[in-house]
Amino acid sequence: MNETIGVIAGTPVDTQMGVDFLEGKGIKAIGYPVSKNPKEQSRLQLLEKTLLYNKVVDIVHKAKSSGINKIFVYCNSLSAAVDMDKVSKETGAFIVTPFTAYYDIGEENFSKVLILAANGQSCAKIETILEECNKDIRMWSISALPLVEEIEKGNSEAEIYNELALKKVLSWAELNNIDGIILGCTHFPYIKNILLKNTTIPIIDPAEKMLDRLMI
């Protein structure tokens, strides 16, 4: 892919994560964070949705004025709070979000999944999509903004794993025969490796499926 992709996310940290992900695949990318930190992001998403929508539209117009026509929204909670289909129609941009990927994940016949997300809004949206795809799926969700905040601080995987007692989360998942743990926040691939080292349950990262959609 020769064209440059615009990456929109909630904070500078996950925006850069999205840029790094694409550039690691050999794709040029420019980041456009919507807010300064997780708390500001949550306030916008929960209490100031009109302002948030307008900010996203302005960012997409800015990207398009620079010749960028494809947008990679590397943020679950932002995608849950803003109608990205509406933004796409208003701006003419091709927009890929994590939620487009969840339709693909929903077709993979998981029977029991644990969803780790930044807030309840994201959990609810992910659950809705998976339910649409698989009426028999059973879901448990954890809203984990403190996990986002620890990642934003730059703490190591091991520190976060121990500080937030993630071993207990994995133990619970194994006891309940969970067959997939969904990283329902684009910050969470940061801890993917340590999760994989401590469980045999598949860890599902939507980013790869987002990339497939982007390449269409």
Q: Same structural domain for residues 15 and 74?
A: yes
Looking at residue 163, its pLDDT comes to 94
Per the CB < 8 A criterion, the answer to whether 45 and 23 are in contact is no
What is residue 9's predicted lDDT score, i.e. its pLDDT? 94
pLDDT tens string for the chain (216 positions)? 789 999 999 899 999 999 999 999 999 999 999 988 877 877 777 668 888 999 999 999 999 999 999 999 999 888 988 999 999 999 999 999 998 889 989 988 899 999 999 888 889 999 999 999 999 999 999 999 899 999 989 999 999 999 999 999 999 999 999 999 999 998 999 999 999 999 999 999 999 889 988 887
pLDDT at 36: 85
Buried b (16+ CB within 10 A) or exposed e, 84-108: beebbeebebebbbbbbbbebbbee
Residue 129, CB-side half-sphere exposure with 13 Å CA sphere: 23
Q: Do 113 and 32 fall into the same domain?
A: no
Could you give the number of structural domains in the chain?
A: 2
CATH number for 153: 3.40.50.1860
Domain residues for the domain of 56 are: 5-97+210-214
- In terms of domains, do 18 and 92 share one? yes
- Do 181 and 192 belong together in one domain? yes
Q: Are residues 64 and 123 in the same domain?
A: no
Question: Are 136 and 154 part of one and the same domain?
Answer: yes
